[in-house]
A = this chain, B = another copy of it.
Amino acid sequence: MTMTAVDLRGTVYEANRRLGETGLVMGTFGNVSAIDRKARILVIKPSGVPYDQLTPDHMVPVSLDTGDVVDSRLRPSSDTPTHLELYRAFPSIGGIVHTHSEYATVFAQARLPIRCMGTTHADYFHGDVPVTRPMSETEVEQDYEKNTGLVIVEAFRGLDLSPDNMTAVLVANHGPFTWGSDAFKAIEHAEVLEYVARIEWRVRALNPDAPRPAACLVNKHHSRKHGPSAYYGQTK
């Protein structure tokens, strides 16, 4: 294993610890991975180990090409094949988070997208957060976790969505996946996703007929934080 992959274990360990502190996961549900694109290795949480018992050595490296475990005797998260398909289809992403966070899961179970109804949503997600189609019996029974990744990719292709502008998805009757340039960005997106899901759930209950914000407002807020005309923060 390369030094980079060793470092990545530390990063993924820190990220999984932090995910455990967000309140987005309960028990051993949920996982974070990150990828070393050069080494073509991703590192992910082991399956079924409680967050408070994790150490960096528990993190499991997996080959992006073969999906095989590299230098570890632990099983990777059972969701690893889903992560693999996302890293393969979305070459710009560096980290992935899977949670069963409560309100995002509500939309996944209700099979409804999280509509973009306000500026906070637009700051982070450029449009409605999509929900995948239900999987067929064959897709569930053979290579279920790999097919979970494939239906996500299919949803993005079908809706012509970019994984850079839309960094979250709801898997039908299951829960959310989020991603970002690294593992910590992916966690931030998981937290904001839960926030906007809570807001939108309450908006629908309060006023199902509320008009959507104008496209110009959504575009304005997204471009304040993203892309060449961004002017939020100190870095430009």
Interface bin, chain A: 35 or more
Partner of A217 from the list B111, B140, B206 (CB cut-off 8 Å) is B140
Contact A134-B214, Cβ < 8 Å, known A47-B233, A112-B207, A206-B107: yes
- Nearest CB of B to A92, in Å: 22
Asked whether A203 lies within 8 Å of B106 as measured between CB atoms, the reply is yes
Instruction: Name which of A7-15, A83-91, A151-159, A193-201 contacts chain B.
Output: A193-201
The answer to whether the Cβ of A168 comes within 8 Å of any Cβ in the partner chain is no
How many Å lie between the Cα of A200 and that of B28 in the bound state? 21
- Nearest CB of B to A194, in Å: 10
Contact A204-B206, Cβ < 8 Å, known A174-B119, A188-B27: yes
Asked whether A206 lies within 8 Å of B47 as measured between CB atoms, the reply is no
The answer to whether the Cβ of A65 comes within 8 Å of any Cβ in the partner chain is no
Residue of B nearest to A217 (CB): B140
Binary contact readout A206-236 vs B (1 if CB under 8 angstroms, 0 otherwise): 1100110110110010001000000111110
The answer to whether the Cβ of A36 comes within 8 Å of any Cβ in the partner chain is no
Asked whether B74 lies within 8 Å of A26 as measured between CB atoms, the reply is no
Residues from 28 to 56 in A contacting B, C-beta threshold 8 Å: 28-29, 46-49
Residue of B nearest to A198 (CB): B102
Copies of this chain: 4
Contact A232-B175, Cβ < 8 Å, known A107-B206, A214-B140, A216-B137: no
Asked whether B110 lies within 8 Å of A210 as measured between CB atoms, the reply is yes
Asked whether B210 lies within 8 Å of A109 as measured between CB atoms, the reply is yes
Asked whether A173 lies within 8 Å of B213 as measured between CB atoms, the reply is yes
Q: Which residues of the other chain, B, contact A135 by a CB distance below 8 angstroms?
A: 214, 217
Asked whether B216 lies within 8 Å of A134 as measured between CB atoms, the reply is no
Instruction: Give 26 A-B contacts (CB < 8 Å), ordered by A residue.
Output: A26-B191, A26-B192, A27-B191, A27-B192, A28-B233, A48-B234, A48-B235, A74-B234, A100-B120, A102-B198, A102-B199, A105-B120, A106-B202, A106-B206, A107-B206, A109-B117, A109-B200, A117-B173, A119-B173, A119-B174, A119-B175, A120-B175, A134-B213, A141-B220, A205-B205, A205-B206
For the complex of A and B, list the 4 residue pairs with the smallest distance between their C-beta atoms, beginning with the closest. Answer: A48-B233, A110-B207, A173-B213, A106-B202
